Structure 1
Amino acid sequence: MIPTARSRNLAAIQHGHIGEELRQTPFHPRLEALAHANDWYAWSGFKAPHSLYDEELEYFAIRSTAALFDISPMTKYRIEGPGAEAFLNRLTLRDVRKLAPGRVHYTAWCDDEGHVLDDGTLFRLAPDRFRLCSQERHLPWLLDSAVGFDVRITDETEAVAGLALQGPCAYAVLRDAGFDGVEKLRPFQLADFPHAAGTVTISRTGFTGDLGYELFVSADLALSLWDRIWQSGQRNRLRAIGYSALNRARIEAGFIVANADFVTAETALREDRLRLPDEIGLDWMVDLEKPNFNGRHAMMEARRTGSLRHVLVGLEVDGNVAGPLSLIYHRQKREVGIVTAATWSPILKKSIAIASLSRPFGISRNDDLWVEIYVLRELQYQKLMKRVRIVPRPFLKLDRRGANPPGLL
């Protein structure tokens, strides 16, 4: 690692975002023009929409036509150099040697005690060049972990703009926009396509459990990319969406969010908030056949001794009232967990939730579980005790997500 580059990066992040005005993404002018709801929130220091017009209509765009979501605030790190593969294999849970150029995989990374620091997507852009995308910022951790590896790490969050195009008409929108050959992309595959005076990287990935793509382009070409997609998408009723609609879709897909469904190791203030991969449903990605990686010994020891304390599960909830951050009880008496995310699914016609339970609940004891929900009715809060059932995730599985070639409506 080049010391001067490390010093520049550390100096840049020391300024932080506290007290600073929220920054605008490269797509903000287009979002602001569509933001009838004027419902904004802060995402990693950027101004982002909860909803632009109506959450219900935005959700149904994901499931019925096509939806466009600005993912530019998502943290993006470029990791490159002769030692990039070895570095990422040491850092993350999955075997990076199995990730071919032009492919993407979902992964996570932990501290030395095996506690999850974050999850995200790893794009292999070339044999020695990667892009790591995540919810939280990890530059100091990455720089410290890179000591001894021949690798360069660059925070390209602001330099690279991103869009998620999701829904059954997503492929049709890209086809009509002139991205010839995009139909050849299989799930978790990526390729570069010409755009304006440069290129756009398109991957068949997303966070909705539907047919979808993510597009990455240099910030100076962002507005021209938006306009190209927006114009071609009108015949397929393309709609721009905010996070509220996306969040409902991701719960249906059973996907988890850092510092929502689990607390990242760097931000946890209490010992009982730390989580091993096995405790948040990420045990399947722990590859014990590859060389040593961060937290490996701690994970193996927890499995050997049976000291895992938590489990993340999917729930169906009686009734039609969602209850995020509601407590879960056994036999309506003993507190055994908490709902981390919940929604009413219009497709399934059910209330569904993701919850963290204390073992053995969720493993060998799944009977007589209840959730305590408080609802506001006629200006007064009422407590509802609703029965819950543990069910597999994803709650909603759509064949079109993995269809090859992608279908047309």
Structure 2
Amino acid sequence: MNAMTKSAAELRRAARNHILAPRLESPFHDRLMALSEVNDWYNWAGYKAPHALFDGELEYFAIRSTAALFDISPMVKYRIAGPDAERYLNRLTLRDVRKLGVNRVHYTAWCDDHGHVLDDGTLFRLGKNEFRLCCQERHLPWLLDSAFGFAVDIHEETEEIAGLALQGPTSYAVLRDAGFAGVEQLKPFHIGAFPHEDGDVTISRTGFTGDLGYELFVPRARALSLWDRVWRAGAPHTIRAIGYGALNQARIEAGFIVANTDFVTAEGALRADRVRMPDEIGLDWLVDPDKPNFNGRRAILDARRNQSLKHILVGLEIEGNIPAEHAIVYHRQKHEAGLVTAAIWSPTAKRNIAIASLERPYGSKFTEDLWVEIYAMRELKYQKLMKRAKIVPRPFVRLARRTASPPGLT
């Protein structure tokens, strides 16, 4: 009886502790905690990540004016290697992996057999038969099932590999002063290995801000020393650590999309009408119909040929300065046309901008006389505002320094 009572008590205590258990901490958590002034955290793939560290507006301007450091360690990372790695990934993803050279990166996406997007992300070619796939969602069971018949090894390395995004006009100057000799030779979407402690750090000229920027990957054991090296070098360049709120502003200006924000992934969708094909979320340019067969190829090409695509993702410019996040889009103020998925007042473009998912023919055939319904809080009362919107190309902000080679020393 006592043993049974004790066991029940232990079970209750274990359940309580499970609920109270903190989220996973990234390798850079100690540095972020020391810098956090607002204690504003969110859950990123099971990790405790900062939404803001001190002031969201100032963090945004660090991206656009100096250098911003963002912890990307929670980003899901898979190491894919083996004799059939290229052939496997070519079967899996939309772009032709045979065209991706060693020490290069490309943006890509992958679909189920019905042509619905499972996720998007970046594919790093680290060697002839060695790749790293980075994405938003976890897909290991699906990746393993898809590998049947291929001589390939797949494992998740999210916890093993720490990542930092260094973005902004002075990001190259920071890396140069940190002693990463030769980093100026990296062109956009190129990768290099640079000495750090008793090993290497992998640096790619990539990012999610539409600005000059780099991403640094290092084994977890050398994470803090990498942070300290970059942070010391960045001090004269007014480097700032940032949270996701600032990054999100920059990515909207750049016109980039986020899985399960701007579209619902095929594995995450609860309703059949929520899934999207690449052409319905602006990823049609990724599809290479001339390469060997890939997941969803027939469905994607059939939808194009039959003109059966149901949605379209567009950029909007909206009158006024009140962000229209999650606003309903109307045609002629009366026919529902779609929904805004992301919106901000852009400090750089000085425009009220948004990304919206519209139901065809709105956005394709009917592109004029669009409106958004915004509910603005005014003195504890919502005020309904109908504002004109027009379709505009993405990116909303285009910065020459993003692709300048060699990078400038702003």
Q: When the two structures are superposed, what TM-score results if normalisation uses the length of structure 1? A: 0.95
Matched with 2:103 is 102
Kindly report which structure 2 residues correspond to 1:276-315, keeping only aligned pairs within 5 A, or say none. Answer: 276-315=277-316
Matched with 1:37 is 38
Instruction: Kindly indicate whether residue 234 of structure 2 is the aligned counterpart of residue 224 of structure 1.
Output: no
Kindly report which structure 2 residues correspond to 1:6-405, keeping only aligned pairs within 5 A, or say none. Answer: 21-405=22-406
- For 2:22 and 2:45, how far apart are their aligned partners in 1? 12
CA displacement, residues 185-217 of structure 1 (integer Å, 9 cap, x when unaligned): 000000100001111000000000000000000
- For 1:302 and 1:277, how far apart are their aligned partners in 2? 11
Matched with 1:13 is none
Query: Match of 1:322, as an amino acid?
Result: P
- For 1:315 and 1:240, how far apart are their aligned partners in 2? 30
- Residue 21 (structure 1) shift: 2.9
Corresponding residue SS for 1:261? coil
Identity of aligned residues (%): 70
Segments of structure 2 that go 5 or more residues without pairing to the other structure are 1-17
CA displacement, residues 25-78 of structure 1 (integer Å, 9 cap, x when unaligned): 000000000110110000000000010000110000000000000000000000
Corresponding residue SS for 1:251? helix
- Residue 18 (structure 1) shift: 8.7
- For 1:331 and 1:53, how far apart are their aligned partners in 2? 42
- For 1:68 and 1:310, how far apart are their aligned partners in 2? 36
Corresponding residue SS for 2:266? coil
* Structure 1 consecutive aligned stretches of length 4 or more whose deviation exceeds 4 Å: 17-20
- Residue 19 (structure 1) shift: 7.9
- For 2:272 and 2:248, how far apart are their aligned partners in 1? 28
Corresponding residue SS for 2:279? helix
Corresponding residue SS for 2:223? helix
- Residue 392 (structure 1) shift: 0.2
- For 1:404 and 1:329, how far apart are their aligned partners in 2? 43
Query: Match of 1:304, as an amino acid?
Result: R
- Residue 170 (structure 1) shift: 0.3
Corresponding residue SS for 1:395? coil
Query: Match of 1:113, as an amino acid?
Result: H
- Residue 96 (structure 1) shift: 0.2
Shifted more, 125-134 versus 17-26: the winner is 17-26
- Residue 348 (structure 1) shift: 1.1
CA displacement, residues 346-392 of structure 1 (integer Å, 9 cap, x when unaligned): 11111100000011111121111100111111011111111101000
CA displacement, residues 234-289 of structure 1 (integer Å, 9 cap, x when unaligned): 11000000000000000000000000000000000111101000000000010001
Corresponding residue SS for 2:390? strand
Change (3 A) 1:137 1:57: same
Matched with 1:6 is none
- For 1:132 and 1:403, how far apart are their aligned partners in 2? 26
Corresponding residue SS for 2:209? coil
Shifted more, 375-384 versus 212-221: the winner is 375-384
Q: When the two structures are superposed, what TM-score results if normalisation uses the length of structure 2? A: 0.95
Equivalenced residues, count: 393
- For 1:244 and 1:186, how far apart are their aligned partners in 2? 28
Corresponding residue SS for 1:361? coil
Corresponding residue SS for 2:291? coil
Corresponding residue SS for 1:365? coil
Segments of structure 1 that go 5 or more residues without pairing to the other structure are 1-16
Shifted more, 376-385 versus 240-249: the winner is 376-385
- For 1:139 and 1:325, how far apart are their aligned partners in 2? 31
- For 1:377 and 1:196, how far apart are their aligned partners in 2? 55
Corresponding residue SS for 2:179? coil
